[in-house]
């Protein structure tokens, strides 16, 4: 099974959740590299503005107003992409929304609604993309945006992390089945750490303080970099930020220690020091505001992710780390002998 992915400049890329945050940044970066774009979200006004922006700069893009929680809307995205460009090469399942609240406080209808977007939207998008790639008979890339909360559960965002756990499981199962069938589709799972997007402002809040990240926060450009690299290169996983990989590994090796660390830190670090917006002011059931790349978080916002850059060049990274380790070993050995 040989998977051969096109250069970005020759690709048609579908991006859901393109009206803000990671989707918006990815669309702008992809357009700058010459990709043709099919942009989907519920906020059609923002999508129209983004498409005009891309076209004014000489790019090619269309938009589709769609709720990814509805299978018929997702299928319509694929149909519009094929009608406009004849095909598509990469499908990015990015749309998502969160709920901040304790397990016993969040209502069941709110939980189900969030699963419609964060889990079922990915299932619908994956199936639409795989069907098209199989019918076309050539390679394609499916990129699903997970979370480090999909590797390790957190308090306060229980519904979100459960949906991301399900998304991770779906992605891994689908990848194995396609590989067993020798179908030339690259399936990548992106594991972002804490990212500076309006996701906190779009979330439904059951807590007294406004949801927000504290601590180390990565820019959405780092996630977009991982997405666009995966559109051109077959990758199983891409972790955005060392924190994402660290928490996944520590949670697997020392789960009780991780429980205690998260109990001590995550209640504080997922909320700001200002009052929360009204519970009805969110993007769970209606479109959130668009054309904003960044959120309103309180922490150290990095300029990029060295971990993503290392994942893009694994051989060079391995050689460099081996060289550093050997140099340290020689230094300590010579010091001990002398």
d(CA 104, CA 196): 28
Closest CA to 196 of 174, 224, 236, 229: 224
**Cα-based angle 142, 153, 210 (whole degrees, multiple of 5):** 95
CB burial readout 74-108, b (16+ within 10 A) else e: bbbbbebbbebbeebbbbbbbbbbbbbbeeeebee
* 93 DSSP β-pair partners: 144
Per the CB < 8 A criterion, the answer to whether 188 and 141 are in contact is yes
What is residue 88's three-state secondary structure? coil
Q: Please, what's the largest Cα pairwise distance for the chain? A: 74
d(CA 270, CA 99): 11
**Structure-block tokens of residue 31:** 């357009």
Whether 285 is catalytic is: no
- Catalytic residue, from 160, 199, 239, 307: name it: 160
**Structure-block tokens of residue 25:** 């940044």
d(CA 24, CA 289): 12
What are the helix (H) ranges across the chain?
A: 21-32, 44-56, 71-85, 108-115, 121-136, 158-180, 199-202, 220-232, 242-253, 255-269, 306-312, 314-337
**Structure-block tokens of residue 263:** 């109990």
Long-range pairs, 175-178, Cβ under 8 A, ≥24: 175/236, 178/130
Give catalytic residues, as residue numbers. Answer: 160
């Amino acid at each position: 099974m040989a998977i051969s992915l096109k250069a970005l400049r020759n690709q048609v890329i579908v991006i859901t959740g393109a009206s803000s945050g990671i989707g918006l940044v990815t669309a702008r970066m992809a357009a700058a590299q010459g990709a043709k774009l099919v942009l989907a979200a519920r906020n059609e006004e923002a999508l129209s503005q983004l498409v005009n922006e891309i076209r004014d700069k000489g790019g090619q893009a269309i938009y589709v107003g769609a709720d990814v929680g509805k299978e018929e809307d997702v299928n319509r995205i694929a149909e519009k992409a094929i009608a406009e460009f004849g095909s598509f090469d990469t499908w990015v399942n990015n749309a998502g929304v969160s709920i901040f609240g304790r397990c016993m406080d969040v209502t069941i209808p709110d939980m189900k609604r969030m699963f419609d977007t964060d889990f079922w939207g990915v299932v619908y998008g994956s199936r639409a993309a795989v069907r098209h790639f199989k019918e076309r008979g050539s390679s394609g890339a499916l990129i699903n945006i997970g979370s480090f909360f999909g590797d390790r559960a957190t308090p306060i965002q229980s519904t979100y992390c459960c949906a991301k756990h399900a998304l991770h499981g779906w992605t891994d199962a689908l990848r194995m089945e396609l590989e067993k069938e020798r179908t030339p589709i690259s399936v990548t799972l992106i594991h972002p750490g804490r990212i500076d997007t309006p996701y906190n402002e779009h979330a439904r809040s059951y807590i007294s303080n406004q949801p927000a990240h504290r601590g180390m926060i990565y820019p959405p450009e780092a996630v977009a970099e991982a997405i666009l690299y995966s559109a051109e290169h077959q990758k199983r996983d891409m972790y955005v930020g060392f924190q994402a990989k660290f928490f996944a590994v520590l949670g697997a090796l020392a789960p009780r220690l991780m429980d205690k660390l998260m109990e001590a830190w995550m209640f504080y670090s997922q909320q700001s020091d200002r009052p929360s917006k009204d519970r009805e002011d969110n993007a769970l059931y209606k479109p959130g505001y668009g054309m904003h790349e960044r959120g309103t978080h309180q922490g150290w916002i990095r300029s990029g992710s060295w971990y993503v850059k290392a994942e893009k060049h694994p051989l060079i990274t391995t050689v460099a780390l081996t060289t550093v380790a050997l140099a340290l070993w020689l230094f300590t050995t010579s010091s001990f002998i002398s």
